[in-house]
Amino acid sequence: MIRAKAVKAAVVVVGLGLAMTAATTSAVADSARPPAGVQVGIDLRGRPNPYQFLPRVRSFSLTSKTVRDGQPMPLDQKSGIFGVPGGKDISPQLSWSGFPADTKSFVVSMYDPEAPTGSGFWHWVVANIPATTTSLPLGAGTPDSHLLPAGALQLNGDAGTPRYIGAAPPAGSGVHDYYLTVTALNVPSVDVTANTSGALLGFTIDSHTVGRATLISPTRG
């Protein structure tokens, strides 16, 4: 009888232990889930996201009348400079909204993480866009277009020239995901020059980033 009671007690203790373990596991899993509206590291197509190793920040809305999220880059936004027949290197129209209230400036960029360089390729980088600007018109990345807001600085990018360089995936290289990104910063400007690389700019703005919005244009080479 005593032995039976001991076995029953042991079963109860084990049961309680399993319940507590399950509760703890559930709590840990819940704490690991990002809050609603926080950008996670993998895009909806399951392809690698170049921002996955950066701190998670709030997401907001980015739209374009030129480039459709999840659709190939239009010919006008491809690069004739890099040899794409019919490419015109015209930067797309962009509009954004819903960014964090403490935003004081923006960075706009286009990046191809799958370029055959070992470090991707920055096609377009514009820093120090005032927080009062919530859109860029078609062709704003063309030199001397005067379509960028006052104070904005267009960087050289990896092509070595301060302008928008269109998509140009090498023939036979498969699908490249072109990331058009607007990054919201909590400072009115960052200390960069036209010669600052996209990577160095990214390092500079990392601790000031409060939000990020992205359109992805998968384009086959």
Could you state, in order of their start, the residue ranges of all structural domains in the chain?
1-33, 58-220
pLDDT grade for 45, boundaries at 50, 70 and 90: low
More confidently predicted of 207 and 19: 207
- What is the b/e burial string over 106-116, where b = at least 16 CB atoms within 10 angstroms of the residue's CB? bbbbbbbbbbe
What DSSP string runs through the chain? -HHHHHHHHHHHHHHHHHHHHHHHHHHHHHHHSPPTTB--SB-TT--B-TTTTSPP-EE-EEE-SS--TTSPPPGGGB-TTTT-TT---PPPPEEEE---TT--EEEEEEEETTSTTTT-EEEEEEEEEETT--EE-TTTTSTT---SPTT-EE--TTTTSSS---B-PPTTS-EEEEEEEEEEESSS-----TT--HHHHHHHHGGGEEEEEEEEEEEE-
Is the pLDDT reported for residue 15 higher than 60?
no
137 near 94, Cβ under 8 Å? no
51 near 41, Cβ under 8 Å? yes
pLDDT grade for 116, boundaries at 50, 70 and 90: very high
pLDDT grade for 40, boundaries at 50, 70 and 90: very low
What the block records as the tokens of 103 is 């935003």
- Taking only the tens place, the pLDDT of each residue in 60-114 is 999 999 999 999 999 999 999 999 999 999 999 999 999 999 999 999 999 999 9
- Is domain 58-220 in CATH 3.40.50.300, yes or no? no
Is the pLDDT reported for residue 32 higher than 60?
no
Radius of gyration for the alpha carbons in the chain, expressed in angstroms and rounded: 24
Is the pLDDT reported for residue 38 higher than 70?
no
pLDDT grade for 4, boundaries at 50, 70 and 90: very low
Is the pLDDT reported for residue 138 higher than 50?
yes
- Taking only the tens place, the pLDDT of each residue in 177-220 is 999 999 999 999 999 999 999 999 999 999 999 999 999 999 99
Rounded average pLDDT over 38-47 = 50
Residue 165, burial from CB neighbour count under 10 angstroms (0-12, 13-18, 19+): buried
Q: What is the mean pLDDT of the chain?
A: 85
pLDDT grade for 3, boundaries at 50, 70 and 90: very low
What the block records as the tokens of 2 is 């005593």
Place of tokens 């992805």: 216
Q: Comparing C-alpha atoms, which of 76, 65, 59, 57 is closest to residue 210? A: 57
- Of 39-43, 51-55, 163-167, 208-212, the poorest mean pLDDT is in 39-43
Q: Are strands 58-59 and 209-220 parallel, antiparallel or unpaired?
A: parallel
